[in-house]
Structure 1
Amino acid sequence: MTAQNHTRLIVILLALVWLVGCAVNPVTGRKELALFQISEEEEITIGQRTFPQVLQQMGGIYPDEALNAYVERVGERVARYSHRPDLPYQFAVINNSAPNAFALPGGPIAITRGLLVVMNNEAQLASVLGHEVGHVTARHSVAGMQRGALLGVGVAVISGVAGDAAHGPLSQQVAQLAATLVDNTYSREQEREADRLGIDYMVRAGYDPQGAVQLQEIFYRELEGGAQPSWVGGLFRTHPFSRDRMLDNQRYIETTYGQATAAAGFVLNAREFQQATAALRQKQQGFQLYEEGRQLEARNQLPQAIATYQRALEAAPNESLILTRLGLALLKAEDMVPARRNLQRAVDLDGNYYESRMGLGFVLLERGENAAAVQHLEKSMELLPTLQGGYLLAEGYEKTGERQKAIALYRSIVEADPGGRLGQAAAQRLRALEGR
């Protein structure tokens, strides 16, 4: 039985067991239609298995330990006052310029550096994180899965089958679920419920609710002024915003927390926030140039893109993401020596991003340094299994004499991408290795 058929069988069996019923919203106590039940343990499993993939797909964790620790402290402070304080919450800053934040089932929550730099104080950060905690406590992502939209993929992940074929089609299903959960657009009512819950949680944690008002006013100014593509493609796509929603929240704060002011001991913590984000703000010009470089590269203006990435590095030295993109652009230009130099620097600064590892592995394969290439490609696949990384790793196994590993990996690629370019190339290599 193939892994794919095995997954279908599990889906059918579990669908028969988990008959149509009702799930209970742990915040409101309301019963909601569900095709199958997801326990809290399963909810946590989904979040923990998909969170690493999401982080890698969006640029990796921003490599500033102090900033990540600060965001985690604020998030944990808010989560302690939520309806589900015992969940294993995780908070991370993503190395991505688009203003965005998201929550996965069971507690993983992330905010992009692009959203952090538009804020002015800690209460605004607490408002965003509280809103995402609200999505978690009310199980909004789980609700979509329970209604059947992701039935098959969700069951595969919960059952643990996805871990049996790390580089095959089931690994692709985990990646699919991860991307779908992040791209999930919440309903208007879910957004308003998360707004109210986030305000409740931040106020219980001692934050001035004016931070939430200020943040919503920032969002509305962006919307009213014609939001930039980074906003439209990020926060406003998954968290639809409107003037009515802003006014509803302001009325909720006025009627519920009118006395929660600075005079009563509730804090904005502007100075603490500015100190924690100072290094990030100093690098904004570099990241703006980085985004310009990406746009030039997307238009196939490779020399201009490379020059722009180099300017970005001058403005933000030693930023591993910029070094990675410059190295990969130089690879496209077949300029191997500086490509290797920049990719090696990126890995030395932050070895936990799959693209820098994969790019460096490719360069090393081209130079015949096969054992070193395999080490970097194995790490790339550990961080985020991809067809491209898998094909390169199989090639590395061939060149280092690990024939059986190469065969197994080529087979996985053929199964995952039967009609694609890499799947066909893997099939050809498989025939050669097996003497067919």
Structure 2
Amino acid sequence: MRKLLLLLFAFVLVSCSKTYDPLSGKEVFTLLPTSEEIKIGQMYVPLAVDENDGRYPDKEVQQYIKNLGEKIARHTPRKLNYQFYLVNTQAVNAFALPGGFIFVNRGLILTLDKEDELAGVIAHELAHVNARHHARFLEKVYGMNILLSIAGIFAYQSKYGDILMNFGKIGAQLISLKWSRDQEKEADRLGVRFAYDAGYDPRGLLDTFKIFKKLGKVKQPEWLLTHPLPDTRIKEVKQLIKQLDLSKKLIKDSPQFHRIKAKLEKTKPSFDLYYKAKEKVAKDKKLAALELLDKSLEIYPENNASLTLKAFILLSEDKFEEGTQLAVKAASLDDMYFKPHFFAGYGYFKLKKYSKSVKFLERAKDLIPNFPDVYYFLGRDYEELGKVQKAVENYQKALKLTDGKRGWEKDAKKRLSRLLGY
């Protein structure tokens, strides 16, 4: 037993990485070093984009979020390559992934009134990253196996690791983490400071809380589901702000915030129609959905969410030429959006344009590596192109990942057996 404990202790020491806590400056040990934390966060960015209906397809809007985020991030102790995205979803929320990837929802900006409110929310999300809350969650849930899991993430193209099988599960956990009272308290303390140091009025966060509380009487904003807001928390934030010098010049608002919000308000009817169309598709009312999507695209032709959903409907109705063209357009608007890349690859496969299909399906695989249909159709493409080994590899992965309900399993097994000479 003594030898076993010594071996276990040695394994823990080897597994741990020595680093410095940027908040305290103290030397600490972690199972998840910063470099690996960043890789994990980066791995899940496309999943977060896909789950939130793609990135908003406007360069000025994206640049505004990037500039605002970076302005605040410069005043955080963790010096990471922070990335900021505005996603299409109407949900009133913002969230972060480990390693410094911050997402702001379209619905959040439409709900806020001033730039200091948005700055307060972004600063709060940056605080979660700086306090390593995501990393600590991964360490707690996955323990020492996290090191093996990380290796599995980046070996998925040649191996089947548990991390690939659990890719979606881990991603869902990271995207919708519910923070503890202590974590929220720490994020409030740091976020107020980050916003203030960046020149923003920290009372903007309190104004945001008031908006969320008011909304909660009708429908609970998603931000409150993952960031609980008891009255004690509001009182504590007020006390934090009282300790700051509020007499100096602080940014409350900007014309640019209102210009960006006006852009989102102008396209809001297009996205409203998109969500109505999604409801129709869920009820198998595809014709009604198409009518709504046509109206949506008349209002905003670059609505990549509507383009993607329309492509899906047309492809499901065997209208491969038109459906593929729409998917290609949506993919060109957002190269991190999984669905249109998969739909374009599927469409080109149906049109027997196998090389073009491979291009989009390989990109789809890079974005979200655990979707079995991608591997099946890649197998079909490579088989048609005479690349037997690649066809075999993709059929094997498809069968490894499938839940058995995709409809192509029998065909994949048959083709794999034939190619392997069974």
Structure-2-length-normalised TM-score: 0.87
Distance 1:57 1:13 in 2: 40
Seen in structure 2, the aligned counterparts of structure 1 residues 23 and 88 have a Cα distance that, compared at 3 Å, is closer
CA contact (8 A) 2:87 2:105 kept: yes
Cα displacement string for residues 75-132 of structure 1 (whole angstroms, at most 9, x for unaligned residues): 1221222232x22222121232222211222222111222122122221121011001
Answer whether contact 2:112 2:118 (CA < 8 A) is retained: yes
How far did 1:133 drift? Answer: 0.9
Contact 2:31–2:144 (Cα < 8 Å) also in 1: no
Q: 1:236 aligns with which of 224, 229, 242?
A: 224
Q: Which sections of structure 1, spanning at least 5 residues, go unmatched?
A: 1-11
- In structure 2, the partner of 1:154 is 146
Contact 1:127/1:202 (<8 A) preserved: yes
Superposed, 1:11-410 pairs within 5 Å as 16-17=12-13, 26-27=22-23, 37-84=31-78, 86-147=79-140, 149-151=141-143, 154-158=146-150, 160-166=151-157, 169-170=160-161, 171-227=164-220, 231=221, 234-253=222-241, 255-257=242-244, 259-260=245-246, 264-385=248-369, 386-410=371-395
Distance in 2 between the 1:179 and 1:222 partners?
25
What corresponds to 2:5 in structure 1?
A: none
Amino acid at match of 2:155: D
Pick which of 67-76 and 167-176 moved more: 167-176
**What's 2:400 paired with?**
415
Deviation at 1:216, TM superposition (A): 1.0
Cα distance between partner residues in 2 of 1:61 and 1:14: 45
Cα pair 2:124 2:188 within 8 Å, conserved:
yes
Give the aligned CA root-mean-square deviation in angstroms. 3.0
Deviates more, 1:15-24 or 1:339-348: 15-24
TM-score (norm: length of structure 1):
0.85
Q: 1:247 Cα deviation (Å)? A: 3.5
Separation in structure 2 between the aligned mates of residue 402 and residue 14 of structure 1, nearest angstrom: 46
Give the Cα–Cα distance (whole angstroms) in 1 for the partners of residues 321 and 57 of structure 2. 25
Identity of aligned residues (%): 28
Could you tell me how far 1:310 is from its partner in structure 2? 1.6
The 3-state SS of whatever aligns with 1:109 is strand
Please say if residues 407 and 430 of structure 1, whose CA atoms lie closer than 8 Å, have aligned partners that are also in contact. yes
Report the Cα distance in structure 2 between the residues aligned to 1:92 and 1:77, rounded to whole angstroms.
14
CA-to-aligned-CA distance 1:148-186 (integer Å, 9 cap, x gap)? x1337632343x332222276433444443332112211
- Cα displacement (A) at 1:17: 4.4
Q: Does 1:430 align with 2:416?
A: yes
Deviation at 1:420, TM superposition (A): 5.1
Kept after mapping to 1: 8 A contact 2:55/2:334: no
What one-letter code is carried by the residue in structure 2 that aligns with 1:301? K
Classify 1:318/1:146 alpha carbon distance in 2 versus 1 (closer, same or farther; 3 Å): closer
